[in-house]
Amino acid sequence: MRKIIAFCMVLTAATVFAQNKTKAFKVSGFVGQSTSVAAPNVLVTIINKDSEEVVGTDQTNFFGKYTIKNVPPGIYVLQVEKIQRTLAVNDKNVRLDIDLSAEAGIMDYVKTGIAQMNAKAQGGGPGGSPGPSDPQMTQTIAGEYYSYAGSTEKKVMFCLEGTFFDSSESSYSGKGTDSLGNQNMAWGTAGQKQGSGQWAIQGTPQSGTITLSYKSGKRVVVKYQAGSEKGCYLFDGTVFCYSGPARCK
């Protein structure tokens, strides 16, 4: 009986080991020209550190996001242009962000957080009416727009009747990793923000200003400029792209 039990234990352990060995995970992240400006159409490659075999590749989309699936457990080198980062895939999906302007490509989330805090502090004066709006540009800009940079996704809806809704969601405010891509420090916490109010626009299809008057009383003037991609605009330097008609309440 003891021999049978021992045999069953060995068989079970071997089965679990085989299952874990065949598991595959996902490596994804954000590649930026800086901490907040996306780097689109950049090739991301994962290479097995021992065999130097290419395990998977992906090209960043317009928002700098990449995803490489079916990566088995192991030690790898993630290469983006001249930057190489070593990462370990063990028993879960891995996220690794790359800043092409930084030494070794390390994303500085502390710097990003300070920049966001400064931008919020300079958000504008008291609210109220956003002022007159150009009817033709209201028709042109109205819709829902989406942006992704670093760990934050942002959406804004401009409604034809002059109201707007915006939101942002951060999956995390900052994480540090060791040489194998394993998290060893973090700053802040994940969070969500929402706002709404009235908007007005003045300008041309190429550039101008959008005034946001929040219900909270805050008033913000945003400079916009047409982007290189159709349907995309730079709102105060951040790329937002049209994703469909505004789902106005």
45-98 pLDDT tens trace: 999 999 999 999 999 988 888 999 999 999 999 999 999 999 899 888 988 888
Burial call 54-68: b when 16+ CB within 10 Å, e when fewer: ebbebebeebbbbeb
**Do the bridges between strand 163-170 and strand 152-158 make them parallel or antiparallel, or are there none, so unpaired?**
antiparallel
The pTM for the full model equals 0.55
Looking at the fold, whether 215 and 142 belong to one and the same domain comes out as yes
Looking at the fold, whether 138 and 222 belong to one and the same domain comes out as yes
> Are 76 and 10 in contact, with CB atoms under 8 Å apart?
no
Task: Tell me the three state secondary structure of residue 121.
Answer: helix
The domain containing residue 162 runs over which residues? Answer: 123-171+188-244
35-46 pLDDT tens trace: 777 888 999 999
Location of structure tokens 């991301």: 44
**Do the bridges between strand 232-235 and strand 238-244 make them parallel or antiparallel, or are there none, so unpaired?**
antiparallel
213-245 pLDDT tens trace: 998 888 999 999 998 888 899 998 888 999 888
DSSP 8-state class, residue 104: G
DSSP 8-state class, residue 38: B
Per-residue model confidence (pLDDT) at position 16: 44
**144 belongs to a structural domain:** yes
**Pairwise CA distance, residues 160 & 170, whole Å:** 28
> Are 32 and 99 in contact, with CB atoms under 8 Å apart?
yes
Mean pLDDT value of segment 119-131: 58
Residue 162 has pLDDT above 80, yes or no: yes
Looking at the fold, whether 47 and 86 belong to one and the same domain comes out as yes
Domain boundary among 107, 137, 163: 107
Structural domains of the chain, count? 2
**5 belongs to a structural domain:** no
206: pLDDT confidence band, cut at 50, 70 and 90? very high
Closest CA to 181 of 78, 61, 82, 33: 78
CATH number of the domain encompassing residue 231: 2.40.128.360
> Are 146 and 154 in contact, with CB atoms under 8 Å apart?
yes
Looking at the fold, whether 139 and 77 belong to one and the same domain comes out as no
Share of the chain above pLDDT 70, in %: 72
CATH number of the domain encompassing residue 52: 2.60.40.10
Looking at the fold, whether 38 and 82 belong to one and the same domain comes out as yes
**13 belongs to a structural domain:** no
